[in-house]
Amino acid sequence: MSDWLTALPHDDVPSVLVTVALVEGSGPREAGARMRVTNEGQLDTIGGGHLELRAVEIAKTMLATGATGAKLERFALGPSLGQCCGGVVHLAFEPVDGTLNAMLQALRERRQQDSWRVIALDGEPASSLFDADGAWLGGTAGQAPDTFSRERGTHVAQGSDGRRWLVDPCLAPRAHLTLFGAGHVGAAIVRALAHLPCNITWVDEREDMFPAQLPDNVRIAATDAPEEFVAMAPVGGSFLVMTHSHALDQRLTEAIMEREDAGWFGLIGSHTKRKQFEHRLQAKGVPDEKIAAMVCPIGLPGIRNKAPAVIAASVACQLLMVWEQAAEAALTTPLRLVSASTPPRRKSRAAVHQS
């Protein structure tokens, strides 16, 4: 499925951005799911089924009539649409005009930084983009709700004047994986994670092992000193070690164990390999709790097939569970919007490791 933010070849293609603004009870997708609708079709999905069909119909009608300004529509999935989810979903519809086009371009440039879109759902059209500190980046100056709560994610806020606003966080991926090893399994894992909300630093000594085409969320490092990339990984970052050499696996494992702020760590191998590494780590004085936290073998319990694609699917699920728990813990700080009275400013892209 094409990405709602990047898939359109030209920004001047008429489209409507559809966002799941609120979900009451059970729904096909969570608040914050988005899709773009053009006269030719759609990019991305809000969950499929009758709800999506109605959303596409509404968006295409807006395109045909030249509608301006955002609007909010309520859908009772069971009574009105016959979907078994049974909940209520509120969808925001935004015609992609010049202001929103500029905002989407800024979001593409800021994919490694947190951004917050704020869109008026009542009254005169108004929309603004803010950074993680609440500083205004662009849009309609001076118009926004007084405050909103970051831990709520995408939601509908009401200002002191009763006006409703869509608050839509577009957050940089929290998850980072440093993957050591460009063999068959490593390549399969990169493919499995290509469209997931994470960034990957892919490390190997053998430059010719990396494919010519890489997913957008991958940066490669062809290096004779892979241990350096253990130290370069972000705080709480995840590690996967699966190189062509057990001796190198051992060195990388020891380097990861030395970091007090490392996140999840997986080591490819059998139970026998784990026992060997445990003995060597204990002999070097590594604390038992760190050794116990090492995941080896990798993958979900009960999946025994060792084909690279199967291992990759299993490990991707394992990582998603770790990352979703971390993401829930990260969204806990309320964010207050400041006065939008200054010209827009832009920050540089977050630094990434490149080969």
- So what's the pLDDT on residue 149? 65
Other residues' Cβ atoms within 10 Å of the Cβ of residue 81: 16
CATH number of 175-298: 3.40.50.720
- So what's the pLDDT on residue 354? 40
Q: What is the mean pLDDT of the chain?
A: 86
- So what's the pLDDT on residue 266? 97
- Domain residue ranges of the chain, discontinuous segments joined by +: 15-170, 175-298
Contact 197, 171 (CB under 8 A): no
Contact 87, 77 (CB under 8 A): yes
Determine the Cα–Cα distance for residues 92 and 74; give it in Å rounded to an integer: 9
Q: Which residues are CB-neighbours of 96 under 8 A, at least 6 positions away?
A: 14, 15, 16, 17, 36, 104
Reply yes or no on whether the pLDDT at 338 is more than 60: no
- So what's the pLDDT on residue 136? 85
Reply yes or no on whether the pLDDT at 286 is more than 50: yes
Determine the Cα–Cα distance for residues 308 and 208; give it in Å rounded to an integer: 19
